[in-house]
Amino acid sequence: MRDAIATRARELGFDACGFTTAAPPQSGPQFLAALSEGRHGAMEWLARNASKRIDPQLVLDGVRSVLVLGISYHLTDRDTRKRVEAQSLMNRALPKGEVARYACHRDYHSVLISPLKALTEFVQNLGGSGTRSLWYVDTGPVLERDLAQRAGIGFVGKHTNLVSRSRGNWLLLAEILTTLELIPDAPERNRCGHCVRCLDACPTQCITAPFKLDARRCISYLTIELKGAIPIELRPLIGNRIFGCDDCLAVCPWNRFAKAGSLMRPVARPDLATPDLLSLLRLTNDKFKRQFAETPILRSKRRGLLRNVCVALGNIGTVEALPALNSAAQDPEPLIAEHALWAIEQIQNRCNTAQG
């Protein structure tokens, strides 16, 4: 039965498929500690369903097994060349932003719905009458990286992301919880060794210790999850990143084994990788929705993306950016206006320093 499920998962395009029990995740105490210390920031849903995350039985009564699926969003050398070619079409003199690699694709939530439903149906048919299953893709109350390590998909690295020996850490995860009993895989063991490249690479030092992350300082949190103003002291550390950050992932030595995946590669959007910041700052709400339809960036909404754009221009912009920022400072959205004023001040300070 396991082999049949794994074969069907490969046929549907999943890059990895592992099996584990529905026992409580071992990282439950660390997760609760992070919540008690407030390291989850404004992600209040983590606390609301914390009890479910540490006990799969509260997610699906009678659950006995969990299928964990890995989906690679790695870009091959050929894909990278396409990305460079797309960038060369833009005026390189204009200030560019940087978008996390996973977001330079169609939204993975929508991409994975069809194959996940198909695999869940396959599991249901194998189990027969009375079998119940639930599938999730980054949306369910489960500690998915813990389950993925227990299912042998990879190990949780010191940056708290999953690392696969055969795929690196450019991985998305999905799960199927089922009442069907399946033989579990052997868990993967941690293979970070003495490497601390991810800790050294973090611009904001949000990885406060190996395997310990303070989301409140993470650039991915600040540019995506945080809906209000970005703390002033952290803005200069964001650089030109306008949606997410890959620094800790990019330096992982296990990426030398990374391979492109069959589900995400066809929906890659290399044109999103390094957008022109001044063009983004001129987006109306309708244009924003059209430009980023069906991509993860749509989730940030115009107010969030333009907030991030203003911060990036404050960090790398020159006097040429001031007219656009002056217009943004008059934006009816207070969040955008406040960050635009900050950016103007940063550019003016750099100019005064250079002249003085």
CB contact set of 218 (below 8 Å; sequence gap of 6+): 204, 206, 245
Q: Is the separation of the CB atoms in 320 and 241 below 8 Å?
A: no
- Res 232 pLDDT > 50: yes
Which residue in 328, 337, 329 sits closest to 282, CA to CA? 328
pLDDT of residue 80: 52
In this predicted model, what pLDDT tens digit does every residue of 200-222 receive, in sequence order? Answer: 999 999 999 999 999 999 999 99
- Res 139 pLDDT > 90: no
pLDDT of residue 317: 96
Where exactly are the structural domains of the chain? Answer: 2-73+106-178, 278-356
How much is the pTM? Answer: 0.93
Mean pLDDT, residues 37-48 = 95
Residue 179 DSSP symbol: S
Q: What is the dihedral of CA 98, 99, 101, 106, to 10 degrees?
A: -150
In this predicted model, what pLDDT tens digit does every residue of 57-77 receive, in sequence order? Answer: 999 999 999 999 999 999 875
For 278-356, CATH gives 1.25.10
In this predicted model, what pLDDT tens digit does every residue of 162-200 receive, in sequence order? Answer: 999 999 999 999 999 999 999 999 999 999 999 999 999
Which residue in 110, 105, 108, 103 sits closest to 297, CA to CA? 103
138 is catalytic: yes
**Catalytic residue (one of 55, 138, 200, 276):** 138
Which residue in 148, 99, 69 sits closest to 295, CA to CA? 99
pLDDT of residue 77: 58
CB contact set of 334 (below 8 Å; sequence gap of 6+): none
- Res 91 pLDDT > 70: no
